[in-house]
Amino acid sequence: MTSAIPEIGDNFPAIDLPPPRLDDLAPLRDAFRLRRTEHNFSSRPLPPQTLSDLLWAACGVNHHGGANGSHAGAPVVTDATVSNAQEIDVYVAMEQGLYLYDPERARLAPVLLGDLRPLVADEHLPRSGDEAPVRLIYVADVDRLEQGGLKDAPGVHDPEIQKSYYLVDCGIVAANVYLFAAAAGLNAWFHECDRAALAKRLPLRFGRRVLFGQTVGYPA
């Protein structure tokens, strides 16, 4: 799933994330109780460990398929995806630039220099998230649905069925992020984004769709 991840160079290096640790989190019971949408954010950056933990919780690799199953040896992630297609890419907009999360290498690959955070909202939304340290952009790769284990399944080439798959799968990633944020004392907000503006700026191959944004940071 990482074949299209660009490499940019020394002036905008990749960020190698520390291995996920998920220490000091509130118990699951409290995370459910605390999960909510909050629109206020401090601009305080997330420490690398917290960023790693957040992205691992979103869609990091948590095991490899067993020897005999349909995904034998393949990485499997914290979010369920149809037939393990893993078709949701998570782009990470931070002040210095835009990165693409690579779950297999636990790394942020550089994509674009510059601050795209204001585009990860549309004109109708409050601007309160524009300076939050992290805005996630969820992008679906329809090719991965068509080429994975599902390629011979009836309906998989039907755009409406594809849409149902990638919207459900995006929602599962977003729910992971909401619960992680609640457990880690962070605020989170799932929202619309300026899809047209982002589709112009992101280097997306044909078949990729910008879906939603999610803003995460410390409470203001």
Ligand X SMILES: Cc1cc2nc3c(=O)[nH]c(=O)nc-3n(C[C@H](O)[C@H](O)[C@H](O)COP(=O)(O)O)c2cc1C
Residues interacting with ligand X, by CB under 6 A? 36-37, 125, 190-192
Instruction: Give the nearer residue to ligand X in terms of CB position, either 123 or 152.
Output: 123
Q: Which position has the token pair 């997306």? A: 204
> Minimum CB separation from ligand X for residue 191, in Å?
4
> Minimum CB separation from ligand X for residue 142, in Å?
19
How many angstroms separate the CA atoms of 116 and 131, rounded? 10
> Minimum CB separation from ligand X for residue 25, in Å?
19
Where are the extended beta strands (E) located within 21-147? 61-64, 75-77, 88-94, 97-102, 107-113, 134-141
Instruction: Give the nearer residue to ligand X in terms of CB position, either 95 or 192.
Output: 192
**Which residue stretches of the chain are H helix?**
28-34, 48-59, 142-147, 159-184, 195-201
Instruction: Give the nearer residue to ligand X in terms of CB position, either 71 or 195.
Output: 195
Instruction: Give the nearer residue to ligand X in terms of CB position, either 189 or 218.
Output: 189
> Minimum CB separation from ligand X for residue 78, in Å?
19
> Minimum CB separation from ligand X for residue 23, in Å?
26
Instruction: Give the nearer residue to ligand X in terms of CB position, either 107 or 191.
Output: 191
Torsion 2-114-134-208 (CA) sign: negative
Cβ–Cβ < 8 Å for 79, 173: yes
How many angstroms separate the CA atoms of 105 and 19, rounded? 10
